[in-house]
Structure 1
């Protein structure tokens, strides 16, 4: 078949797949109960309390649109992932020249977290404690520190307690790294340049892949993931999944400013202290720093 024919029917098919699957398999939680299930999963699987997801953004390389001076062009796929590698929220289409933090600033998820809409749960006690803590998402250094976004302490002159916090956060955040890795390993189009100039069609391709990923995670044992995803050994050391042998999806650059509010820094410090308390510590953390 000719390239022009393939460019026509592949996006049409992807648009249909996304349309059929999105309401059940690519729907962001919008009730307190649904968000609480996400938080329960992070606590049970990754020992991170009051966590509503792991957040990250990756570049999707596409053919430059007409009139674009650069030979390279990309769109950013922003995603929030649950504890079982399912995409809870995806936003695609922003120009890849914008940093992760800048992309996040323009998406509906930030509005929901900032204003506590979409039935985001109210602050809740940390497990085994009477200390109230707001619900948050975990992210890397590319995102601003906010009450609802926890990121690592900067890597210089860290105390033992801060290194423990960074380990605990990294352990929970790795689910989004793995979700992107599984996605690109299964749908190899992410490891090349999508040869389509129409950004709307590229969005259909990306969203259909995310929906199919969630469908397979939800409706089958998804045996494909065996050996692909990172595993934790008996001593909780990470055994890298085979997706890490693939070309890595490109990370967006850092935002120009990462100024944090006092309340956000206090929340991070409170979690830091909780993770070394009798109620919040896990026995293996001391050997991981």
Structure 2
């Protein structure tokens, strides 16, 4: 981020991360707490002259402060509800079992026109997600998880690890988009042909492979939800170009 954006973020976080000076010791400053990120703890020890023991404490505290300060304005998580009688769902691929809250493609061996269009629309949504995670990895480093649900587990500080990154990403995208995420960094769609062009984002080895789930038997409810989306993509939610590219 540029200096102006950093100063803005520092002003937001300073009341939450600044510690009082006592007769016993001088605290690590709010500036040092905010900038002590972006590398391994042992590397940061030499860059910041802060002990690994202190870094192990202040970095999680600062991450929680980022979430606390930015979540209201930059992480507006909606309550579970339906849109056009369709539920909120996760977009998944073949690695996951079909669930009422997880959409995955139809098997290619049983495709008809409607199912093919559903798979096409789902793949477009997944490309957006791949862009997001590719951008997160390129900016923030590794996400060493074999199951994405692990990123939603609470920590001792009571917040979700991935949410710190999401909140900061939303902040930077809104306030420093040209330096944080320029247009050429992400995949983009040609306005006339609707063909997708790869951006500078590339697949990163830092993203762990997702292991196939053990329970592969989908419930009738899960199949019903997927069928609802299939019908929507072929009726009210249809886009003009999908027949040509599915």
Q: State if a TM-score over 0.5 links the two structures.
A: yes
- Label 1:9 to 1:275 Cα distance change in 2 as closer, same or farther (>3 A): same
Q: Which residue of 1 aligns with 2:60?
A: 15
What secondary structure sits across from 1:283 in the alignment?
coil
- Label 1:185 to 1:281 Cα distance change in 2 as closer, same or farther (>3 A): same
Quote the RMSD (CA, aligned, Å): 3.6
**Aligned pairs, number:** 187
Partner Cα distance (2:137, 2:75) in 1: 28
Q: Which residue of 1 aligns with 2:185?
A: 228
Partner Cα distance (2:226, 2:172) in 1: 35
Unmatched runs of 5 consecutive residues or more in structure 1:
36-118, 126-131, 193-198
Unmatched runs of 5 consecutive residues or more in structure 2:
1-40, 46-51, 145-154
Matched, 1:258 2:216: yes
Q: Which residue of 2 aligns with 1:154?
A: 107
Q: Which residue of 2 aligns with 1:219?
A: 175
Partner Cα distance (1:26, 1:143) in 2: 29
TM-score of the aligned structures, taking structure 1 as reference length: 0.54
Partner Cα distance (2:109, 2:186) in 1: 30
Matched, 1:283 2:240: yes
Q: Tell me which structure has the larger Cα radius of gyration.
A: 2
Instruction: Indicate the structure with greater strand content.
Output: 1
Task: Decide whether the 8 Å contact of 1:14 with 1:205 is kept in 2.
Answer: no
1:98-113 equivalences under 5 Å are: none
- Label 1:30 to 1:181 Cα distance change in 2 as closer, same or farther (>3 A): closer
Partner Cα distance (1:137, 1:145) in 2: 10
- Label 1:287 to 1:24 Cα distance change in 2 as closer, same or farther (>3 A): farther
TM-score of the aligned structures, taking structure 2 as reference length: 0.62
- Label 1:210 to 1:282 Cα distance change in 2 as closer, same or farther (>3 A): closer
Partner Cα distance (1:266, 1:28) in 2: 35
Matched, 1:170 2:130: no
